[in-house]
Chains A and B, each alone.
Chain A
Amino acid sequence: MIVHLRPLDREDSLYLLRMLQLDGLMKSFGHIKAVDGLSLQVHRGEVFGLLGPNGAGKSTTIAMALGLLRPDAGSVNYTGYGSPALALARRSVGVAPQSEAIYDQLSGEENLVFFGRLLGVADPLRAAHAALDRVGLLPRAKDRARTYSGGMRRRLNLAAAILHSPALLLLDEPTAGVDPQSRASLLELVRSLANEGAAVLYTTHYIEEAERLCDRVGIMESGRLLDVGGVSELLARHGRETQVIVERTGERVSRIATLDPMREVAKALTADDVIGLRVERPDLETVFLALTGRSLRD
């Protein structure tokens, strides 16, 4: 018998790449709707950012995606592995909770060896050293976690998530409270994990992080996913034109909205009364403002 296979189209490719699928998730705590009909997919090799203020429902979404919370409605599926209730599915996911989920009284190495055993890693010590090396903590492997700095503890938290080379990473604000230098190295690490094929769901309320790291961003507010897309897509859909702000003598300021800011800048530079010049490009803050009517920083 000859089986004729049709060539893969875009939908097929996306299905094959899909790692996490959340469909119509709903969760209420009393009269508060924490998550309201949220659906999204995260693909292999992609960092999907959930951007929203505190209380938007990001952590609740992560908890449901991990199977820690039972949704009131909707479903969670790890493509190829099933629901997070299954041990096989849980073996395919790595998690970095918002809090530093490590034992202070254990060393970095002991922490990871313990988590490795729980995760069923064949050689926990070797995996622990590999993960510690990856986050730059190998020289401090034998030191107790309580002696680590805030940034180091965050890195150890992430190391525990990647210990078993999971196909899916759920990272809940992994850079909260971290200095800029440590944050940069953490973002770099997450990016490299995605480049190696991991699907990453990354929650944050930092616009810069989402813009810099995420391939796609979902804007969340009050439990609802307002829009999803690449940063440039979102800017194109909801961002305003670039603003050129020109300050002139006599405390006069003019704002010029333009699609060609360079032309406006060149024009301003030829004027005699111009004493200051600033270009404001639209960003995800602008998108959030357009979608919700309020600033993300409010």
Chain B
Amino acid sequence: MRAEVAIALKDLRLLARDRTNAFFVLVFPLAIAIFFGSVFGIGTGAGSISLAVLNECNGALAQAYVRDLASAATLKIVPVPSREQGETLVRRGTASAMIVLPADFDAKASRMLSGGQIEIEFLSDPSRSAERGLLQGLLTQMGFQTMLHAFESPTLARSLLSQSRLALMVAPDMQPQRRKDIAALLDAAQTVTGDPEASVQENAKAKNIGKHGENREVSGAVGDDANGDTNTSSIDNSKRAQMLSNMPEMVRVNMRELAQATNQPSNPFAITFPQGIAWGLMGCVVAFAASLAEERSRGTMVRLATAPIQRMQVLLGKWIGCFTSCMVVILLLTLVAVTLLHVQVQSWPLLALGSVTCAFAFSGLAMGMAGIFRSEGSARSAGSAVMLILAMVGGGTIPLAFMPPFLRTASGISPFHWAIISIEGAVWRGFSLAEMALPLLILVVVGVLGFFVSVLAMQWSKN
């Protein structure tokens, strides 16, 4: 048994002394645990979806609707003064989507019991389809909620009912049976909201139900029921839900994607193609970092370092190799995307600029990683792990919307985030040169920093 213990102790010591192992055994799992824990754990998604709202109505119901949206834990409402500004936010990726509450929001809402339907214009970022589905559901849900809240104010409810009766009377094409059904519905609603006697009866009925443990109260009044009507709390929730379920869909969300807004054909590959480029660049980084580390461990670096050339030339030669391979990856993927997948590029000059900058950043990153990771094994394994973490943080694997605020802020440190944004900016986001400036600048800084680290590492190895 002594021998077995000795072997086990030896292996544990080896594990502890190898920094690559230490990284994989401790740092990497910790990073993964923190990342996914943050994504799926406490505080998930709080204010994670940024929604630009253009309220062209500003009526009581429209405002109530916006307030209801703001109360949703996953939403962060960004009011915008104009359609253009909202579109810009979506195009830049600052907002996941924009909604436009039409000028007749309140007018249509007041006729909802007689078939009125509010149409909300919805402009989404096509690269964030996961958020789009979530948002669509939320918009519909909040429409119902706003209407429920409206019924909590008897004054507003009565107004809704009277306007609906009026609309019903003048509705020209309604089938008799349908007209009869809606009239019956309005009568039923009247007993709930308008008739004091009916209200008392309903109240008593509700109390009776309450004794049996059913949920009967609705809390969280909308601002415009501040008239203090005590009947508000006595309206049965299930009754209202039943009443509303008989109505046609109140909020219709007219979906539109940003690509359509910018008059370009939408193509799902246009969205996945920038991400493909980022992953291709990651492959280049790891391969080059490993090959540089291999040169060092095999001794070929000695030959390079003792050749009658400057050390900077050696680094530059390595950098050029990596840069070229990054460019080849981008060119090949672009070629495939354009010819086979029919991706349409909005701005070729900006794509060229973005590609060169991405290649610059990632080749600098490869040099930096080769400087940090001294052996081929650590460059390949730990390098891949680091890149994977950067890809995850940068939104390469999990949509940013599903990340907690601190991770979304942290995504700014990931070159993947900026690489994807810059390529998307040129391909379908319709970025101007000024809008491209920030991601490009950050990528240039990443490239320079990486190269600087490699120079430092080479200097350090001389000591």
Contacts and interface: CB of A to CB of B under 8 A. Distances in A.
Majority-rule SS of A interface residues: loop
B107 to A, nearest CB: 74
A98 interface: yes
B12 interface: no
Contacts of B462: 68-70
Contacts of A101: 298-300, 302-303
Interface stretch (B70-78, B271-279, B306-314): B306-314
A66 B307 contact: no
Given A68-B462, A69-B462, A70-B463, A88 B299 contact: no
A271 interface: no
B305 interface: yes
Given A68-B462, A70-B462, A70-B463, A90 B308 contact: yes
A93 interface: yes
B298 A99 contact: yes
A160 to B, nearest CB: 7
A97 B305 contact: no
B317 to A, nearest CB: 9
Interface stretch (A112-120, A136-144, A234-242): A112-120
Contacts of A120: 308
A87 B307 CA distance: 8
Interface residues of A, number: 24
Nearest to A89: B308
Contacts of B302: 66, 68, 95, 97, 101
B148 interface: no
A118 B309 CA distance: 7
A70 B300 CA distance: 19
A160 B307 CA distance: 11
B300 A103 contact: yes
Majority-rule SS of B interface residues: helix
A65 to B, nearest CB: 10
B299 A97 contact: yes
Given A68-B462, A70-B462, A70-B463, A118 B304 contact: yes
Contacts of A93: 306
What bracket does the count of chain B residues touching chain A fall in?
10 to 19
A91 B309 CA distance: 9
Contacts of A229: none
A133 to B, nearest CB: 20
Contacts, number: 53
A211 interface: no
A35 to B, nearest CB: 14
A102 interface: yes
Contacts of B306: 66-68, 84, 90, 93, 95
A19 to B, nearest CB: 16
Interface centre among A67, A88, A101, A115 (most CB of B within 10 A): A101
A90 B302 CA distance: 12
A100 interface: yes
A107 to B, nearest CB: 15
Interface centre among B300, B303, B462 (most CB of A within 10 A): B303
A102 B463 CA distance: 25
Nearest to A101: B299
Contacts of B310: 87
A79 to B, nearest CB: 17
Interface string B275-301: 000000000000000000000011110
A284 B37 CA distance: 66
A100 B303 contact: no
A70 B462 CA distance: 6
A177 B463 CA distance: 29
Interface string A47-76: 000000000000000000011111000000
B299 A98 contact: yes
Nearest to A92: B308
Interface string A15-35: 000000000000000000000
Nearest to B310: A87
B290 to A, nearest CB: 13
Interface centre among B304, B306, B462 (most CB of A within 10 A): B306
A87 to B, nearest CB: 4
B61 to A, nearest CB: 71
Contacts of B299: 97-101
Given A99-B298, A100-B298, A68 B305 contact: yes
Contacts of B297: 99
A118 B307 contact: yes
A69 B297 CA distance: 16
Interface in A156-206: 160
A88 B307 CA distance: 10
A87 B303 contact: no
A100 B300 CA distance: 8
A115 B305 CA distance: 11
30 contacts: A66-B302, A66-B306, A68-B305, A69-B462, A69-B463, A70-B462, A84-B306, A87-B308, A87-B310, A88-B308, A90-B306, A90-B307, A95-B303, A95-B306, A99-B297, A99-B299, A100-B298, A101-B298, A101-B300, A101-B302, A101-B303, A103-B300, A115-B307, A118-B304, A118-B307, A118-B308, A118-B309, A119-B307, A120-B308, A160-B303
Given A70-B462, A97-B302, 9 more contacts: A66-B302, A67-B306, A84-B306, A87-B310, A90-B307, A93-B306, A101-B298, A101-B299, A119-B308
Interface of A: 66-70, 84, 87-88, 90-91, 93, 95, 97-103, 115, 118-120, 160
> Which 4 A-B pairs give the minimum distances between C-beta atoms?
A101-B299, A99-B299, A87-B308, A118-B307
